[in-house]
Amino acid sequence: MLLLGIDDAGRGPLIGPMILAGVLIEKKDEKNLKKLGAKDSKILAHSERIRISKLIEKSTISHKVLLSTPEEIDKAVASVNLNTLEAIKSAEIINSLNNKKEKIQVVVDCPSVNTLAWKNKMISCIKHPDNLEIFCEHKADANHPVVSAASILAKVKREEEVTKLKIEYQKYGDIGSGYPSDPVTKEFLKEHGKELKDSGIFRKSWATWKTMFPSPSDKKQKTLKDF
């Protein structure tokens, strides 16, 4: 039996993409991922994540990394929600890595409080589900080494993308981590958000953006709510 783990990185940032990654291995080899150091990426130093990611890539049958741009995220938030976009992207990873022959146990770190509804949405986007045994769990990255491995690949890719943005926009200053709680990011948004609003680096559906640069519809909604 094969084992496929899926996890995300960068759901919350104001700047840059969200990343999803999938790691496909022989189920019997999951213990080897643990030996390589695969664990929840949030508790690893970034230098360790980079080192371990290279080992993971060499040790898997296959892996897949997908990027969701701020524009994709804004469209999803406007039409459905971010969880639905993640369900669609997770299914895309499964479709890419599923050979449709061998039995595959799929473990996904679920982003939604309603695990069953999210799982059903993801399954509805899978092209060939018959050979799949699917589990969606909260904190799966902490409980399953294969999901930990996916979280590491996703986090490394996210940091690579942020580094590219730092270089591309360095003439404007430091973008920081991209998270709304980061004072450096907030200052960058305050100073350059308006002139870079069409650059494609900001998630303009985020409350931080809307508070700083409210649209006419945002202002109208606020007025009605206040009234």
Residues 66 and 76: their CA atoms lie apart, in Å, by: 16
Q: Give the residue among 127, 89, 124 at the shortest CA–CA distance from 108.
A: 89
In which region does residue 9 sit, left (phi positive, over 0), alpha (psi from -120 to 50) or beta (all else)?
Answer: beta
Domains for the chain: give ranges and CATH numbers.
2-165 (3.30.420.10), 168-215 (1.10.10.460)
This prediction has a pTM of 0.92
Rounded to the nearest 10 degrees, how much is the dihedral formed by the CA atoms of 185, 188, 193, 197? -70
Find how far residue 182's CA is from the centre of its chain. Answer: 19
Percentage with pLDDT > 90 across the chain: 85
Six token digits for residue 156: 């490394």
Amino acid at 58: K
Sign for the CA dihedral angle at 167, 169, 170, 176 comes to negative
Check: CB of residue 17 under 8 Å from CB of residue 67.
Answer: yes
Query: Between 18 and 43, where is the model more confident?
Result: 18
pLDDT in tens, 168-182: 999 999 999 999 999
Q: Count the alpha carbons within 13 Å of 5 in the hemisphere toward its beta carbon.
A: 30
Identify the band that residue 45 occupies on the pLDDT scale cut at 50, 70 and 90.
confident
The predicted model gives 61-82 an average pLDDT of 97
Query: Between 211 and 218, where is the model more confident?
Result: 211
Range of 1-5, 28-32, 215-219 with top mean pLDDT: 1-5
